[in-house]
Amino acid sequence: MDMSIDTAKKSIDMLHEHSRSVDTVYIGFYGGEPLINYKVIKDVVIYSKIKLSDKKIVYSLTTNGCLLTPEIADFFTQEDMNVVFSLDGPQEIHDENRVFINNEGSFCATIRGIKNLTEASKRIGRVPNIGINIVTSPPNFEKKYTKIQQFLESCDWYGEHVSVTCSTVDYGPMEEEYRLPQSEDEEQRRAQTYNPLEKWSKEYSKDSNGRGLFAEASFVKGLQRIHSRSVTKEPVSDYWMNGCCVPGSRKAFVTIDGEILPCERVAGVPSLGNVWDGFDVVKIRKNYVDDYIKNSIPKCKECWAVNLCSLCYINFYDDKEAYPNYRNSDCVKERLYIEDDLIRYHTILEKDAEYIDTLNSMDLI
């Protein structure tokens, strides 16, 4: 099922209504596969340029690239669209999970889409706005990361202008008992958990900040988290709501039927309202403030990493309400990742303090 042009236009109308105080707005297209509904994408771009004529509009789209024809590539390039391709690495890795309905791998079609976009950019004389989203699955993470690194270095379209994000397959929320930080139970759980990208980077590269690796952006994000932390002389008694956004304030995701969710990364959570009736402030306060705080405090108050935590509303709800037991395993992983970030940050601080200084001029991702 595709989003209708009426729902899409209503979304832009709502964006216009709620962005009067800003000069720049961001419009992103996600799926499924958004290029299946390319006509609506094109209509939205045309409509938004009229409706939001007083603002700078930044467009982005996440796609597998299989339907990105030369004609679409020309349009995206003219509109300066930021295009993120779902590409998991060389063909043998990519085609493990990304296949067509006939079970044939999609690697060649994805590469064709990338090349169509780069060629369109060359014709116009512009650097292509390309991102790569890599998702890896077990087993043999480290071997796969090495192959991905070597593959990207061999691609003539890859370079400093290409941003890369990397994650592992998310199998969805799993109910699990909560483990107190630094307890024996947590140590047993940590023995089954590790950060494969961090482990690989230490073995593959002698550069402790990950420069030159496809995962550098992920490492920089972790370093920024530590660098921008609040530092106090005395222990603090208050803490923020983890990595939570203000739902509907900075970002909102509109589903095909017009329901509004906090962002494109969450699903199966209570909506914030819809594009026809607007935000449901009462519902937002109950689900995303009161219930979230009530269910988080008993655990977060015991956690040493609470002021560095980036966990948000993802995996915190079932279809209707707060269900925090889904997130207990995430708490263990998050503390592990924060510990890795702290070690990386202070290792670099001792060996390459000038690099740490460059974080001051970087925007927090």
Residue 184: predicted pLDDT:
92
DSSP conformational letter for 237: S
The answer to whether 59 touches 46, Cβ cutoff 8 Å, is no
What pLDDT shows up at residue 365? 44
Which residues of the chain fall below pLDDT 70? 1, 206-209, 362-365
Tell me how far CA of residue 237 lies from CA of 124, 146, 147, 242, in angstroms.
Answer: 56, 44, 46, 14
Q: What is the pLDDT of residue 57?
A: 97
pLDDT at 235: 81
- pLDDT given for residue 208 in this prediction: 63
Tens-place pLDDT, residues 159-173: 989 999 999 988 777
Residue 25 parent element (H or E): strand 24-29
Peptide bond into 139 cis (omega under 30): yes
C-alpha distance from residue 124 to each of 72, 159, 182, 218 (Å): 14, 19, 56, 31
Looking at residue 267, what is its pLDDT?
Answer: 80
| pLDDT at residue 31, as a whole number | 87
Q: What is the pLDDT of residue 152?
A: 97
Rounded distance between C-alpha atoms, residue 188 and residue 191, angstroms: 5
How far apart are the two ends of the chain, measured CA to CA in Å? 32
Q: Residue 172 and residue 239: Cα distance in Å, rounded? A: 28
Q: What is the model's pTM? A: 0.91
pLDDT at 194: 81
44-53's contacts with Cβ under 8 Å and 24+ in sequence apart are 44/5, 44/8, 44/9, 44/12, 45/79, 47/8, 47/9, 47/12, 48/12, 48/15, 51/12, 51/13, 51/16, 52/12, 52/15, 52/16, 52/19, 52/25
The CA–CA distances, whole Å, from 166 to 46, 131, 162, 205 equal 32, 11, 13, 17
